[in-house]
Structure 1
Amino acid sequence: MQQATPCIWWKAISYHYVRRTRQVTRYRNGDAYTTTQVYHERVNTHVAEAEFDYARCGVRDVSKTLVGLEGAPATRLRFTKCFSFASVEAENAYLCQRARFFAENEGLDDYMEAREGMHLKNVDFREFMVAFPDP
């Protein structure tokens, strides 16, 4: 995991709601009758994704080295992942790229769902793991 390439990503989903109706059968005192039900359905119209380009800033893993695991018959590990910035310039580059991405995708429809996150490329990240020493 420490050699994996990190990826900070953004996703914007533009959407609106469409008013629809449907006929619903209801029962009262054993008699069936139909009624019209009004509902609103979400319609996604545009999806965009982007990644933070940290080529100018660089990247470095600052996680601690695991030592002493061989002294126990089993060790339960909990992994977390997060990111921080080593300089104000790197943070400003991130904030500018993020703001540009969401500004480019804003206003394409009535609403926009914004998501962002981080993952490690080509790694099946597991939060919990159990380690055993080599026999």
Structure 2
Amino acid sequence: MQQATPCIWWKAISYHYVRRTRQVTRYRNGDAYTTTQVYHERVNTHVAEAEFDYARCGVRDVSKTLVGLEGAPATRLRFTKCFSFASVEAENAYLCQRARFFAENEGLDDYMEAREGMHLKNVDFREFMVAFPD
């Protein structure tokens, strides 16, 4: 995991709601009657994704080395992942790229769902793991 390439990503989903109606059959005192039900359905119209380009700032893993695992018959490990910036310039580069991405995708429809996250490329990340000595 320490050699994996990190990926900080953004996703923007543009959407609007469409008013729809449907006929619903209900029963009262054994008699069936039909009513019209109004509901709103979400319609996604555009999806965009991007990644933070950290080529100018660089990246490094600052996690600690695991030692002493062989002293126990089994060790339960919990992994977390997060990111921070080593310099103000790197943070500003991130904030500028993020702002540009969401600004380019804003206003394409009535609403926009914004997501962001981080993953390790080509790694099946598991939060919990049990280690056994060989």
TM-score by length of structure 1 reads 0.99
Aligned length: 134
**Alpha-carbon separation, structure 2, partners of 1:49 and 1:20:** 30
Give the deviation of 1:30 after TM superposition.
Answer: 1.1
Secondary structure of 2:114's counterpart equals: strand
Most deviating of 26-35 and 44-53: 26-35
- Partners of 1:39 and 1:48 lie apart in 2 by 27
Query: How far apart are 1:29 and its partner, in Å?
Result: 0.8
CA-to-aligned-CA distance 1:76-132 (integer Å, 9 cap, x gap): 000000000000000000000000000000000000000000000000000000000
Distance (whole Å) between structure 1 residues aligned to residue 100 and residue 74 of structure 2: 47
Give per-residue Cα distances to partners, 1:19-75, cap 9 Å, x unaligned: 000000111111111100000000000000000000000000000000000000000
Q: Distance in 2 between matches of 1:32 and 1:133?
A: 69
Structure 1: distance between partners of 2:129 and 2:40: 43
The whole-number CA distance in structure 2 between the counterparts of 1:102 and 1:34 is 45
Gap runs ≥5 in structure 2: none
Alpha-carbon distance between aligned partners in 2 of 1:133 and 1:32, rounded to the nearest angstrom: 69
Distance 2:95 2:81 in 1: 19
Q: Percent sequence identity over matched residues?
A: 100
TM-score when normalising by structure 2: 0.99
